[in-house]
Structure 1
Amino acid sequence: MTEFHLSTPLSKSDLDQLSTGDIVYLTGTVLTARDEAHARILEFTERGEELPFDLEGAAIYHCGPLMEQKDNKWEVVAAGPTTSARMSKMTPRLLERYNVTALIGKGGMNNVAGPLKGKCVYLAFTGGCAALAAENIQKVETVYWSDLGMPEAVWVLKVKNFGPLIVGIDAKGNDLFAKIDEKARNIFSRLI
């Protein structure tokens, strides 16, 4: 296990050096997107419409942050990860069209190791760390699709040393969560 301090957007060499179990801290720009934002991104794509934000090299954080407006600026109150598996079905189509280099969330993703291979990593943030995550967000740059509601909107965040994040799926196709699941099933099958 190695610790990395990386800046967004992640480069090909950044992705190549990461392996499952490594610890990552990110500095740069991160965009939040949950179920509704993913669905809208895919709707825009299917209609051939341009997105109002750039996903080239993007780091997408599966998060529904709690925000507060002070002096005409948004501030993050809490920004813990949401369950990434909910976005698993939409992720392959998203990655076919957009050069997203990092997905950040909680609890792993199902059947996305193949689509991530060679182009993207999944970084797991421990659930229950909403206040810790908020501490590492320096600034809310802007918000898109606020009509979806605060947790579903796309928030553009400037982060510094955002983490610790664990490489759950690396760009080589290795899936830490799948390995743990398989090991648990093997142990369970021996017990019955």
Structure 2
Amino acid sequence: MIKLIESSRIYQQVYRGLKPQTGEIVVAEDIIKLTTPLTDEDVESLKAGDRVSITGVIYSARDAAHKRLVELIEKGEELPINIKGQIIYFMGPSPAKPGHAIGSAGPTTSYRMDAYSPTLHQHGLKGTIGKGARGPEVVEAMKKYKGVYFTATGGAAALISKSIKKAEIVAYEDLGAEAIRRLEVEDFRCIVAQDCHGGNYYEIGVEQYRRA
């Protein structure tokens, strides 16, 4: 089943441009380069299975922070961050070592955010990054509001952290690791897992596995 081979498959797809020994990441020609914030056109151009390299500002947040954001929206109050055109990475980092911008920064399982993502997409959020497939309500919201879901592999948490050049808490500091962080990223590697056209990389992977 795809769930058993998901991490190794994604790791190989995302990091096959990695130079051995040095750990230096080289952007291959078939990787799509994205710069935040994203536009509707950016999102519409992406298809499930595309390999991407993200540069710019993204935000990290998990379920506790998502709950607070949605509560503010429901009350008609201003959000502590501007989510329009933005990407939220489902991640709560470990403490940073001296000289590092952030600690281990692997993705959180995405279904925990499924109850909140449709509302955020409705209010301008363009992308999310996590692991595991999204539910049907999120899929429909991505189709309606032009959103995209990227997947990163938890097995590459150390490599992911190297792509994060700066990290600072910008909201909900009381949540600790789950506080919202503003991340400046460079060559952050992902795969388009589910696109705004209904394409699903996980289903594609299952079909490829069955044919192999």
TM-score w.r.t. length of structure 1: 0.85
CA displacement at 1:15 relative to structure 2:
1.3
Alignment of 1:33-182 (within 5 A): 33-68=61-96, 75-96=101-122, 98-111=123-136, 112-117=138-143, 119-150=146-177, 152-163=178-189, 165-178=190-203, 180=205
Contact residue 149 and residue 192 of structure 2 kept, 8 A: yes
Contact residue 101 and residue 164 of structure 2 kept, 8 A: no
The structure richer in strand per residue is 1
User: What is the number of equivalent residue pairs in this alignment?
Assistant: 179
**Percent identity (aligned):** 39
Counterpart amino acid of residue 57 in structure 1: G
The structure richer in helix per residue is 2
Following the alignment from structure 1 to structure 2, what is the Cα–Cα distance between the partners of residues 174 and 162? 22
CA displacement at 1:178 relative to structure 2:
4.5
Going from structure 1 to structure 2, the CA distance change for 1:126 and 1:34 (only over 3 Å counts) comes to same
Counterpart amino acid of residue 166 in structure 1: I
Q: List alignment gaps of at least 5 residues for structure 1.
A: 188-192
CA displacement at 1:180 relative to structure 2:
4.9
TM-score w.r.t. length of structure 2: 0.77
Following the alignment from structure 1 to structure 2, what is the Cα–Cα distance between the partners of residues 105 and 82? 6
Q: List alignment gaps of at least 5 residues for structure 2.
A: 1-12, 14-29
CA displacement at 1:77 relative to structure 2:
1.3
The 3-state SS of whatever aligns with 1:75 is: coil
Residue 36 of structure 2: aligned partner: 8
Contact residue 108 and residue 131 of structure 2 kept, 8 A: yes
Following the alignment from structure 2 to structure 1, what is the Cα–Cα distance between the partners of residues 201 and 44? 16
Contact residue 169 and residue 179 of structure 2 kept, 8 A: no
Following the alignment from structure 2 to structure 1, what is the Cα–Cα distance between the partners of residues 161 and 151? 16
CA displacement at 1:65 relative to structure 2:
1.1
